[in-house]
Structure formats: C-alpha cells, structure tokens
Structure 1
Amino acid sequence: MKPKKNPKIDLNKNRAMFFVAGLTLILLLTYIALEWKSYDKTDYDLEGMNVEDELIEEVPLTIHFTPPPPPPPVAPPLIEIADNKVDIIETEIMSDNTTQDTPVMQVQEIEVAEVEEDVSVPFILIEDVPVFPGCENASDKRACFQKMMQKHINKVFQYPKLAQEMGIEGKVHTMFVIQKDGSIGDLKMRGPDKILETEAARIIGKLPKMTPGKQRGTPVKVPFVIPITFKLR
C-alpha cells in the first residue's frame, strides 16, 4: 500500500517564516489605517473675504493733568520799631495779699434755682399709675388702665385696605410716653411694614388725655409699651 503524502514534501518546514511575514503584514496594514488622514475639499473664496491687511489696535487716550504750582510763601509781617521817646503807660498790678485790716465784704443770700428733673418711671414701677378716663373710681387703676387701653384699640382699629390687598400682616410694637400733663408724646413704632405702622400711630394718636402718673406725689413721665396685632382672617 502506497502512502498518501509525499515524504519529500515537508509543509512545516517554512511555517515559522510564513507566520512572521503574515504578522508583519497585518501590523503594517493596522498602522496605515490608524495614521490615514482625509481632508475636506472646500474651495474658499479669498477675494470675497473682507480681511484687513493690518490690524490697528486703538490705544485709549490718556490725559495727564499737571498739578498747579504751590502758592508762593507768605511774606513775614513787618516789624515796626517803636520810638524810645514815646511814653508807654504801664499797667499797675495791685497786690491781692490780704491782711487782718482788710475789710471783709458782706455776702448776700444766694438763691439757688431749682432745676426741674425730667424723671421718667416705667408703668410697672410707678407708685400712682396714670388714670385712664373712666377709671377714676376703680379699685385697681392699673388693671383698669390696661383694660380701657385694649377697649380703645378695638374701637378705633381699622385694617388698612392696601395692607389687606397686599396680604400684609404682623405685629406692630408701639411705645409712647404719658407726659406730666397727661398728654401722649414720644411715639415710637416698629413693625413689619410702614402701612401697619401708620395705622398704629393713628390709633395711639386718638388716645384721650389722662391723669398723669405720680411718683412720691410728683407728676412724672410714664413710658408705656403695647403691641398691636394685624391679622387677616
């Protein structure tokens, strides 16, 4: 029986060389594919492009002001030499040394002007609280004062229409002073909006004249603080 393969032909003889050649060819094709560059063929109309031949940078104008020269020095005043022949009247200074023989001046009675002190006592510490009209016969004038104050606010209170339309609400802290004559003064306010502060000032401004508070029987100023709440339902 004859063998199928020719023993003289060895296919594995050049196998390594063919492998290296194929590998080199593949690497070469890969390199060419990665380094391949293509460009768009676009024709530019250089004549139609408005390009200035020379770009001129505009330098901002700077004006330098020269300060004025300093004023000339003031000439020293002229010194006039007085004539020695002129008689100068000298002032005679009397000695103020006193002796036993020096008469003593009689001192009249000195009247000391009484300075009226501007005393201010808080409402919570005042001995005799200010009397709100209608509280003259009340046993607890302090509680009656606060009750009548709240009644006055509820009676005079008006919610500003502009504040209602804008949805403004909050609490306005008001502080005023009941003067020595029972009038209202030194009104101060602090609130969330000027509209509410104006209405609070109007309410306090309509307070009636009261009997002033007294400390040790003397009328004094009494500061009072009350908040006014503006709330939309």
Structure 2
Amino acid sequence: MEIKKNPKSNLENYSKLFMQLGLVLALFITYVAIENKTYDKEYGDLGMVNMASDVEEETIEIQPEAPKPPQNTPPPPAPEKIEVVKDEKEVEETVIESTETDESEAVKVEEIQEAEVEEDIVEDVPFSIIEDVPVFPGCTGTKAQKKACLNDMMNKHVQRYFDADLANELGLSPGKKRIYLVFKIGKTGEIEDITARAPHPRLKQEAIRIAKKLPKMEPGKQRGRAVRVGYTLPITFNVE
C-alpha cells in the first residue's frame, strides 16, 4: 500500500514566500540602521592625573648581616711528648775580609802627571797695570823709577818738538786747549797705532807727527813676556 503525502505539508511550495519575507526583513533592518542617528558622548574634565605623586619611591635598605660569632672550636690536642731534633747540618760562617791596608803593606800609587796649562796672556796691557813698564832710552833704576822717568821723558819730548805757534795761527779762541795723543808701545819697542783727538785737524796732525819721532824703547813685559802697552799722552797749551 503506497503512502501519499499531503500537498499542504510540502514546504517546498512556500520557499519563494520565505525568500521574499527574508529580503523584506533585511531591507527593513538596513533602513533602520541608516536612519538611526548617533551622538558623541561627552565626558566631564577629569583633570590631569599626577601619577608621580601617587608613586612613591621605594628604597631598599640592605643591612649587612652581623658577623656570626666564631664557633668555639676546641684547640688541637697537645702532643704527649716534645722531642728536640738536633740539626746535623753545619752552618758555614762567611768571613768578611777587611779592605784596610796595613802600614807594612806597600801601596802602589800611579804617578800623576800634572798637565801644564798655558795661561792666556793679554797682548795689549794698559800702562797703569803693566808689571814691567817700557823703558825709555837712558832710564834706569827700580820699576817705579823707570815709570816716572818714562813720563818725564815723554813730556820733554813734547816740549821739544811741538809747534806752539801753530795754535795761534789757526785762529782758535783764547784759553787753555788740550790734545789727547794715544799710541801703543809694541813688542819690539816701536810706536804703533797712533791716534789723536784735538780741537783742530792740523793740531791732530801735529800730535801724530810728534809721536812718530819717539825713539825705540825697551818693550813692556807681563809675566815675563813682551806685550804691547797702551799709553795716553795729554798735551796742554794756551791760546792767546
């Protein structure tokens, strides 16, 4: 016997209806969602939150542990018997020899040769400090007498050869005038390096001419060696 279905119980007949209802429902929901207005929520001024004030710095204090008291350990047991062991090794004594010499011992000393140092002798020596003054011809006696004799003979030489009338002819102003004649008595006794300072060139030439007429002398000596001796001869005269 074949079972027959009721045509009303077949749901496939209502599939199109269900689809249309679903589309209408979806469109309705979409429309409501579009038309619905939303507003931004306003919150009151909560203020600035100072988190730093709420956070407290935590400091960790480390306290060193107190040293534990040493445990009372019992001392090691003392030996029952102490034996003294003799050192069989002999200690060698070091002998320090004295470096001092006896009077009987001869000490060899190397001969020390003194090197002869040649002293530098100044070639030009002023007349005031020369050891042995130059000797003018005819002067004798001690060093002091030879020195005084030299100065006296120089003055006489000037008085003999100086032209006194020349000063009046040059038209110089009246009064006392002075010429400084400077020269050197060389190692051979000859007159060298003659210079003069005078109030007139002709008087200068006259002084140089007088110096060239000086005779050859015995040279002065310093430490036994002949040296050049500087000499200054002032010539004083009056102009009327």
TM-score by length of 2: 0.45
Give 1 or 2 for the bigger CA radius of gyration.
2
More helix by share: 2
TM-score (norm 1): 0.47
